[in-house]
A = this chain, B = another copy of it.
Amino acid sequence: MRDDPVRRRRAFPLAQGRRGQYFGRMIEPHPSGGYILEELAVGMTAEKRVTVTAERIDLFAEASDDFNPVHMDEAFASRTAYRGRIAHGLLSASFGSAVVGTILPGAGAIYLGQTLNFHKPVRIGDVAVARATVASIDEAAARVVLRCDVLVAGEVVMDGEATVRVPRRRRPAKG
């Protein structure tokens, strides 16, 4: 999304340059790229904003080989219950998994599972706020559950839970 300011502000590697994207007292990416188990606490929250564009939907269709006309074809979609082209559900979900994989806990976390509940369709032009909050920590299993919400204009359009395994220690710096 070359013309998306959210993207333009994102630096690579991940631990740099993200400050502008977060609000209030949100958690930022750990300087190492990811949090380890002992650094996590219930209630920690991170979020990012992504604008849903036709280009994102087209890219997602190419990636997933999902060219369902409800996502691709405004004329078709306008005659369905959705009354217009909508984003793939897993595209909105991917904004949440991006928060989990790149901010909280970030690098090193291993994705074990995800639940998703779709409440409202997401449309071109919507600004999605994807938020992940640590809901529970199983110290013995090194398993962390994060509540994931995606909001558009203050309304929850999607929620669910991500379950990840989090490393207990940081790997030594790589040469």
Seen from chain A, the residues whose Cβ lies within 8 Å of a Cβ on chain B are 1, 4, 6-7, 10, 12-14, 33, 48, 50, 56-57, 59-60, 62-70, 79-81, 88-91, 93-95, 97-98, 101-102, 107-108, 110-118, 160, 167, 171, 174
CB-CB < 8 A to A14: which residues of B?
67-69
Q: How far is the CB of A2 from chain B (nearest CB, A)?
A: 9
Look across to chain B and name the residue whose beta carbon is closest to the beta carbon of A65. Answer: B50
A113 in contact with B118 given A97-B90, A174-B79 (CB within 8 Å): yes
A117 in contact with B112 given A64-B60, A89-B97, A98-B66 (CB within 8 Å): yes
A65 in contact with B7 given A70-B107, A88-B94 (CB within 8 Å): yes
Q: How far is the CB of A169 from chain B (nearest CB, A)?
A: 13
Chain B CB within 10 Å, residue with most, of A7, A64, A88, A94: A64
Chain B CB within 10 Å, residue with most, of A13, A97, A171: A97
Q: How far is the CB of A160 from chain B (nearest CB, A)?
A: 8
Q: How far is the CB of A31 from chain B (nearest CB, A)?
A: 15
Residue in contact with A89 in the complex, picked from B59, B70, B102, B111, CB distance below 8 Å: B111
A63 in contact with B94 given A69-B107, A107-B68 (CB within 8 Å): yes
Report whether A118 and B107 are in contact in the complex, using a CB–CB cutoff of 8 Å: no
Residue in contact with A93 in the complex, picked from B90, B101, B110, CB distance below 8 Å: B90
CB-CB < 8 A to A79: which residues of B?
171, 174
